[in-house]
Amino acid sequence: MSRAIQKTDKTDKNKIVEQVITKGDLAELSPADRVSYYNTLCQSLGLNPLTRPFEYITMDKKLVLYARKDATEQLRKINGISIWKIENTIEDGCLIVTAYARTPDGREDIDEGIVFIKGKVGDSLANLQMKAITKAKRRVTLSICGLGFLDESEIDSIPGARQIANPEDDAVMTEQEALSLSHRSSGLDHWKCSRALAMQILNYCADHKLKGMTDDIIKSWLPVGVASRKDLDEGEARHFIANLERRLELFNVCGELAAKGVDSDTMKLRLPSGVQSLKDLTFVQVEEALKVFSGWLKKYNEAVEGSVING
C-alpha cells in the first residue's frame, strides 16, 4: 500500500515538474521543491545562491525568476566575459545603448538598453543614461551566456509585472525566526523610501565597505541636503542606488587596470583636476571617469590582443 502511495506521489511530482518546464510557472512547485529548483539552477550556472542572484516576480499570472545584478556580475566573472565596447544613439527621444560582450574564446554578442530621455536634464538625465548602460550590459551578459531570464532593470517596463518576496521565506520560517526577522527589519520602517529600495542601498553599501569605504565616505555621496540614508525619498533613493552602482563599476574597472600593472599614481593623472581619489568624485564626475577608464581599459586590452596576434 505504502509503495503505491509513494509511486502516486512521485507521479504527481513529475507532472508538476513537467508543467514547470513546459509552462514556466514555478507556482506549481511546493516551497521545498522551489528551494531545490533554485539551488540546482544556481549550481548549474556556478552562482552562489546565498547572494540571491535571482528573485521572484509574477508576470502573466505566472511565478517566474528574474536575474538580479548579483547574477550578471557573477556570470561575467565566472565566464571571463568582458564588455569591450559601448555605443550610444538617440532616436525619437530615446537613448539606445548597445553593449558588446566577448568571451575568452572569442565568441561575441550584442544587446541594447533603451530609455526615454526627451526633456530630461542634469542628474535626471545622468541617471537615465546610467540605467540604459546598465540594462544593455546586463542583457548582453545574459544573452551571451544563453540565458533567457529577465533582468531586474527591465521589470519597471513590463505591464502587470509585480516583484514579490521570496515565497520560501514565509513557507519555511519558524515562529521564532519570524520574530527575529521582524526585530532585525524594524529599523527599515523608519526609512522614507520603500523597504525594497532600502535593502538595495544597504546591500550596495556593504559592497563598498568590502572595498574599504567607510560610513563617512559613503555618507558624503548622499544628495545635498540629505543627512542620512533613511531620509531619502523614493526618487532620491533610486538616484543614490545608481550612484553607488556606478561607483562600484568604476572601482572594478580600476581594479582590472591595476591587475594589468597600472599603478595608482598613473590612474590619478586621469582624474578631473583637483580630485585626488576616486572616492572624492561627484556622481557626474563618476560617469565621466567611468567612460575614460573604461576606454583606457579597452585600448589596453586591444593593444595586448594585437601584440599577441602579431607576436
User: Per-residue pLDDT for 74 more than 50?
Assistant: yes
Cross-strand bridge partners of residue 114: 96
Q: How do residues 277-291 score in pLDDT, each as one tens digit?
A: 888 998 889 888 888
Cβ–Cβ under 8 Å, residues 99 and 294: no
Proportion of the chain above pLDDT 90, given as a percent? 15
Residue 305 scores a pLDDT above 60? no
Element (H, E) at 21: helix 2-23
What was the pLDDT predicted at 13? 56
Contact 120, 128 (CB under 8 A): yes
Give me the pLDDT at residue 171, please. 37
Confidence of residue 221 (pLDDT cuts 50, 70, 90): very high
d(Cα 215, Cα 229) in Å, to the nearest integer? 11
This prediction has a pTM of: 0.50
- Beta strands per DSSP E along the chain: 54-59, 62-67, 82-91, 94-102, 108-116, 150-151, 162-164
d(CA 274, CA 258): 22
Domain 82-144 class in CATH: alpha beta
Least confident of 60-69, 84-93, 186-195, 282-291: 186-195
What is the predicted pLDDT for the residue at 145? 92
Any idea where the domains of the chain sit in the sequence?
2-71, 82-144, 190-299
Query: Is the sign of the CA dihedral 84, 97, 144, 203 positive or negative?
Result: positive
Question: pLDDT grade, residue 167 (50/70/90)?
Answer: very low
Q: What are phi and psi of 247, to 5 degrees?
A: -65, -40
